[in-house]
Amino acid sequence: MSAPVRLLFLCVANSARSQMAEGLARAMLGARAVVQSAGSAATSVNPWAVEVMGELGVNLTTHTSKSVDTIDAGSVDVVITLCAEEVCPAFLGRAERLHWPVEDPATRDPAMGPEAMRGRFRAARDEIRGRLAAWAAARGLAVDALDGR
């Protein structure tokens, strides 16, 4: 077996997109990857991200938001930025860089009800899941099935 690929997912707050990507990559790639996530302005893990990932059997309840400054550049082979409309964090390591622009599902819009929020987070989760599956296939990495839908 070859060495696992070392992935880092980045977004601004490390609260939603990068957390969901980290959980998906761990669940889908298993021992074929070592996965981290971080952000330029770490906050906390968004409860909507925890909820919609739980629908797939992926548990984010033990995840914490981390600053990109805490990541050892030598521990990363591939860095994937997930920012769409905002400025993505910089990563100074020599890793291969990919950019998957995914709209931030978090919003402070008071008119946004719970079902609309779930829909936004599910859409981001499913986009990341599809991109991750395509990336893994292109690299010849097997992908494990997820629970849920």
Catalytic residue status for 40 = no
Instruction: Encode 133-144: b = buried (16+ Cβ within 10 Å), e = exposed.
Output: eebbeeeebebe
Catalytic residue status for 51 = no
How far does Cα 25 stand from its chain's mean position? 8
Is 61 exposed, middle or buried (CB count within 10 Å of its CB: 0-12, 13-18, 19+)?
Answer: exposed
Catalytic residue status for 17 = no
The residue ranges of DSSP E strands in 56-126, in sequence order, are 78-81, 96-99
Catalytic residue among 83, 95, 106, 141: 83
Token digits of residue 141: 């990495």
Catalytic residue among 71, 80, 88, 132: 88
- Of the candidates 36, 96, 40, 45, the one whose C-alpha atom is nearest the C-alpha of residue 68 is 40
Catalytic residue among 10, 11, 124, 143: 11
Which residues are catalytic, by number?
A: 11, 83, 88
